[in-house]
Amino acid sequence: MADRNWGSLYSIGLLSWKSLIAILSLALTVFMLSWSLLLNTRGRSQFIDQNLFPHLKHHIPTSPIHHPPLISYEQQATLKVFMYDLPSEFHFELLYWKSDGYTPWPDLRSNVPEYPGGLNLQHSVAYWLTLDLLDSEFNNAGGGTAIRVHNSSEADVIFVPFFSSICFNRFSRLNPHQKTNKNKELQEKLVKYLTGQPEWQRSGGIDHVITAHHPNSLLVARMQLWPAMFILSDFGRYPPTIANINKDVIAPYKHIIKSYVNDSSGFDSRPILLFFQGAIYRKDGGFVRQEIFYLLKKEKDVHFAFGSVQKQGVPSATKGMQSSKFCLNIAGDTPSSNRLFDAIASHCVPVIISDDIELPFEDVLDYSEFCIFIRTSDALKDKFVMNFIRSISKDEWTQKWEKLKEVEHLFEYQYPSKKGDAVQMIWRSVAKKVPEIKRRLHTRRRFSRFEKPASQVFHCQETSLLDRRRN
Ligand SMILES: *[C@@H]1O[C@H](CO)[C@@H](O)[C@H](O)[C@H]1NC(C)=O
Ligand SMILES: *[C@@H]1O[C@H](CO)[C@@H](O)[C@H](O)[C@H]1NC(C)=O
């Protein structure tokens, strides 16, 4: 009997010991969670900045009514970029430009090759970045965020001028007589070229920057070139070890709809409440779009324009977005789309229903000041979206409309680039990753004296490291 009592006492003790541990770890979790939440609030950067950089103190707003500027361009040293002289079949030849055989690059002072128009343009990021680097050589009046250097040892990053998106757009169709296509061939050629370069071998690719803005571009080579920094539209079609927000940069789409210059419209003069342009039936994650379409299609204040902007005609889409108060952005088969940037250019307040969307420049940009975010689970409730949008006052809308006009230039791709446009903001995002690149390079060097060709070893190490961090 006594034994049994002991036994039960013992198990009670064990039980309470277990629950004590459980309570303790719960408390610890709650503490850490609230701490990380605290660190993630908007006040955080000021809180940290105050302590780390006392000289910034006088920038802290003294009155609670004062709103800090939406974007602050801190003074930043110029980013030094080494660009490979890749053969022109990897870049401007894809735009039907022909090299004279002496240099793979066009002379921009006499000829700026044009990018193929239409929907191709939305992914033209690599083109604008390359133009900007070429331009920095003879147009160095200052103001540029990145300059091209010819000694790779002096560079912060190594840029790979492969126009992977237009390569996908033009050459991904399978030739019926061959097993492969030019898009695949060029990527294989690129991997061979890069891994043969001293710059790549020196760093294992860590300090390389590769643009793959179309979600399907670089499909083959990404699996081998992933130690590099990618410039992407989103992470939708990437495993997190291959691309993630720590290593890579999210760049805006180039908007297809023309900017609304001298917009004197207002809440009352935009007759359509909610505008949606796009395909309804999508593959993959597109079912949400279809569901929301069924919920909204009976609403008389909603305007649906089916198909792509190009099919509908840019003029009609432009008119639609410029005549609407709100523009709907629902995740399609990828979390991001050019519609968001078309909406911004039209000053039509974006309503974003896409839980996994990654937004460009979000480290300096608070999108909630000019967009409306709705969780997918809420959007799927009957009447939720319409009731919510109708509840937004004219004042609040007008504030967001003003902010849209303030930030739209951040999403402008242009040549030559201008201060704070998309091109320079992307270089700025790349520059912010340089300390992390340095850290990874130094880590890689720890045991370098014991290894001959380090690249293979590094590959495995870094993969397992990333896996460990995710688990
Ligand atoms: C490149 O830069 C490195 C580091 O500054 C320097 O040691 C080297 O001599 C330079 N190479 C050339 C060819 O100028
Ligand atoms: C916008 O307004 C400015 C100043 O009034 C004017 O110079 C410019 O031509 C206008 N642009 C357009 C496209 O209407």
Task: State the Cα–Cα distance between residues 166 and 153, nearest whole angstrom.
Answer: 30
Q: Residues 284, 220: one domain? A: no
Does residue 39 form part of some domain? no
- Max avg pLDDT among 195-204, 279-288, 314-323: 195-204
Task: State the Cα–Cα distance between residues 131 and 415, nearest whole angstrom.
Answer: 7
Does residue 334 form part of some domain? yes
Which residues partner with 250 through β-bridges? 232
Peptide bond into 64 cis (omega under 30): no
Residue of minimum CA distance from atom 8 in ligand 2: 262
Range of the domain at 324: 272-411
- Does residue 310 surpass a pLDDT of 90? no
Write phi, then psi, for 153 (nearest 5 degrees). Answer: -70, -20
Position 40 scores a pLDDT of: 45
- Of the ligands numbered here, which is closest to the C-alpha atom of 262? 2
Position 1 scores a pLDDT of: 41
Q: Report the alpha-carbon angle 249-250-256, nearest 5.
A: 140
Q: Residues 407, 421: one domain? A: no
- Does residue 354 surpass a pLDDT of 80? yes
Q: Residues 249, 277: one domain? A: no
Q: Which amino acid is at 273?
A: L
Is 310:322 a contact under the CB 8 Å cutoff? no
Ramachandran region, residue 92 (left: φ > 0; alpha: ψ -120 to 50; beta: rest): alpha
Least confident of 1-5, 28-32, 436-440: 1-5
Q: Taking each helix axis from N to C terminus, what angle separates 164-171 and 125-138, rounded to the nearest 10 degrees?
A: 140
Q: Is 151 near ligand 1, meaning CB less than 6 Å away?
A: yes
What average pLDDT does the chain have? Answer: 82
Is 347:403 a contact under the CB 8 Å cutoff? no
pLDDT in tens, 84-121: 999 999 999 999 999 888 899 999 999 999 999 888 99
- Residue with the larger pLDDT of the pair 250 and 51: 250
Q: Is 41 near ligand 1, meaning CB less than 6 Å away?
A: no
Does residue 96 form part of some domain? yes
Of 220, 370, 356, nearest to 288 by C-alpha is 356
177: tokens are: 């007589």
241: tokens are: 């070890």
Confidence of residue 281 (pLDDT cuts 50, 70, 90): low
How close is the Cα of 248 to the center of ligand 1, in Å?
28
Q: Residues 295, 405: one domain? A: yes
The whole-number average pLDDT for the span 38-47 is: 39
Task: Report the atom number in ligand 2 closest to the C-alpha of 261.
Answer: 13
Confidence of residue 30 (pLDDT cuts 50, 70, 90): low
- Does residue 398 surpass a pLDDT of 80? yes
Is 374:330 a contact under the CB 8 Å cutoff? no
Q: Is 80 near ligand 1, meaning CB less than 6 Å away?
A: no
Position 43 scores a pLDDT of: 37
Last residue of a domain, one of 411, 435, 461: 411
The whole-number average pLDDT for the span 43-62 is: 37
Last residue of a domain, one of 377, 411, 445: 411
Is 415:131 a contact under the CB 8 Å cutoff? yes
- Does residue 272 surpass a pLDDT of 60? yes
How close is the Cα of 265 to the center of ligand 2, in Å?
15
Least confident of 100-104, 284-288, 421-425: 284-288
Q: Residues 191, 294: one domain? A: no
The whole-number average pLDDT for the span 301-322 is: 80
The whole-number average pLDDT for the span 145-174 is: 94
Q: Which amino acid is at 307?
A: G
Q: Residues 288, 217: one domain? A: no
- Does residue 380 surpass a pLDDT of 80? yes
219: tokens are: 């499909």
Helix intervals (H) in 245-330:
287-296, 309-312, 314-322
How close is the Cα of 241 to the center of ligand 1, in Å?
34
Residue of minimum CA distance from atom 1 in ligand 2: 262
- Does residue 393 surpass a pLDDT of 80? yes
Q: Is 149 near ligand 1, meaning CB less than 6 Å away?
A: no
Q: What percent of the chain has pLDDT over 90?
A: 58
Residue of minimum CA distance from atom 6 in ligand 2: 262
Position 17 scores a pLDDT of: 59
Least confident of 9-18, 325-334, 353-362: 9-18
How close is the Cα of 228 to the center of ligand 1, in Å?
23
Task: State the Cα–Cα distance between residues 47 and 43, nearest whole angstrom.
Answer: 6
Position 397 scores a pLDDT of: 98
Position 311 scores a pLDDT of: 66
Longest dimension (CA), the chain: 101
Q: Residues 148, 212: one domain? A: yes
Substitution candidate for ligand 2 out of 258, 259, 262, 264 with most atoms within 8 A of CB: 262
| CB-based contacts of 469, cutoff 8 Å, min separation 6 | none
Is 133:80 a contact under the CB 8 Å cutoff? no
Chain centroid, CA 290 distance in Å: 25
Does residue 53 form part of some domain? no
Confidence of residue 423 (pLDDT cuts 50, 70, 90): very high
- Residue with the larger pLDDT of the pair 57 and 179: 179
- Does residue 468 surpass a pLDDT of 50? no
Last residue of a domain, one of 411, 438, 453: 411
Q: Is 262 near ligand 2, meaning CB less than 6 Å away?
A: yes
Does residue 261 form part of some domain? no
How close is the Cα of 151 to the center of ligand 1, in Å?
6
Q: Residues 433, 448: one domain? A: yes
Substitution candidate for ligand 1 out of 80, 150, 151 with most atoms within 8 A of CB: 151
Residue of minimum CA distance from atom 2 in ligand 2: 262
The strands making up 79-83's β-sheet, listed across from edge to edge, are: 146-149, 79-83, 157-160, 208-211, 229-232, 249-250
Position 47 scores a pLDDT of: 31
Q: Residues 235, 203: one domain? A: yes
3-state secondary structure of 317: helix
Confidence of residue 321 (pLDDT cuts 50, 70, 90): very high
Total domain count for the chain? 2
